[in-house]
Amino acid sequence: DLDGRWFGRRRPSSEWRFHRDIFNSRHDVGAIVHTHSPRATALACTGRGIPAFHYMVAVAGGSDIRCAPYHAFGTQELSDAALAALKDRNACLLANHGVIATGADLPGAILLAGEVENLALQYTVALSLGEVRILDDTEMCRVIEKFRTYGQQNAADADLIFGGAQPGAVNERNA
């Protein structure tokens, strides 16, 4: 549960701490996906995040996807580092470990985890080709603002990734 207690015969994942801490600190988050997807994890093993090499980085909520420093799996230190990397973001890499993606609901978190993996692939390919052009903060702010209403007929419904769950909305946490 959100106090760190577990029930039943099976022990929770070793990463229960960062799940608990993210849910307790981010009320916009209804679901968390943690993966060890190959390309994003490989990039995390270099200690690198994903900079604004492509405008789609903005789907993670900011101008980059940060990489939290390494801490052993299952520790409070890893949870604290993940929370710091997720500040104002919906996804991060975990050095020498993997990926965390969040969303208002499980489908949103799964889609974001897949997009982080895709961006990691594109970025690693771009790195292999030479110097990677990085979009500046002004452009990324413009992209983030455009994403708020992208594909939406009604701007009031635009909390796809950036605003999280609306008060009273049903999601994985309050269903």
Catalytic residue set: 15
Q: Which two tokens stand for residue 165?
A: 């769950």
- For residue 94, which of 129, 42, 28 has the smallest C-alpha distance? 42
Q: How far apart are CA 141 and CA 121, in angstroms?
A: 23
Q: Which residue has the tokens 């960062």?
A: 18
Q: Exposed e or buried b for every residue in 76-99, given b needs 16+ CB within 10 A?
A: eebbebbbebbeebbbbbbbbbbb
Sheet of strand 31-35: strand arrangement: 31-35, 98-103, 91-94, 67-68
